[in-house]
Amino acid sequence: MTRSSKTTIRIDLDNGVRLGPGKAQLLELIAEHGSIRAAGASIGMSYRRAWLLGDEINRMFKEPSIFTRHGGKSGGGAGLTEFGQELLSRYRRMEKASRDAMRADLDWLESNADPRFETTDKTTDA
């Protein structure tokens, strides 16, 4: 059987910190592209939205996750701090552990899913 199903997790800490797939993806893309603007553009997100989300990520923990370099002759840029790299690594590890723990149930769901089912814009996951 092809295992194409996926799971996502969102962490909600007591203090209101919320970390989920969107923020993790932005961190990953900032690391990949070296730029907040390029990271946002790669997923169709405006620079302003990407910058605001990055700023929120930096305020969520005791240490910042993203660093920025101001422009100049060589241009600006952004990347992940050591803490940001660790945060992303731990989030991805929790995602994998969650997926692995649910593997048998996911396989069961997949084997019982109707292959003729077509989603519509009105379908929700609730």
pLDDT at 118 over 60: yes
**Confidence grade of residue 32 (pLDDT, cut at 50, 70, 90):** very high
Specify the pLDDT at position 75: 73
pTM for the model: 0.82
At residue 1, the pLDDT reads: 42
**Secondary structure class of 74 (helix, strand, coil):** coil
| Residue 112 is assigned to a structural domain of this protein | no
Stronger pLDDT, 50 or 122, i.e. the higher one: 50
CATH code for the domain of 49: 1.10.10.10
Please tell me which residue, 14 or 74, carries the higher pLDDT value. 14
Distance CA 126, CA 117 (A): 17
61, part of any domain: yes
Q: Which two tokens stand for residue 117?
A: 């089912």
Give pLDDT, residue 4: 66
Residues in the chain: 126
Report if residue 6 sits inside a domain.
no
Report yes or no on 120 lying in a domain. no
Dihedral (Cα; 29, 10, 4, 117), 10-degree rounding: -120
Query: Nearest 5°: phi and psi at 79?
Result: -165, -175
Total domains, the chain? 1
Compute how many other C-beta atoms are within 10 angstroms of the C-beta atom of residue 18: 12
Residue 117 lies in a domain: no
| pLDDT at position 5 | 76
Q: What is the DSSP letter of 102?
A: T
Domain span including residue 35: 22-103
pLDDT digits (tens, 9 = 90+) for 6-24: 789 999 999 999 999 999 9
* Virtual torsion, Cα 6, 105, 12, 19, nearest 10 deg: -20
Q: What is the pLDDT of residue 124?
A: 55
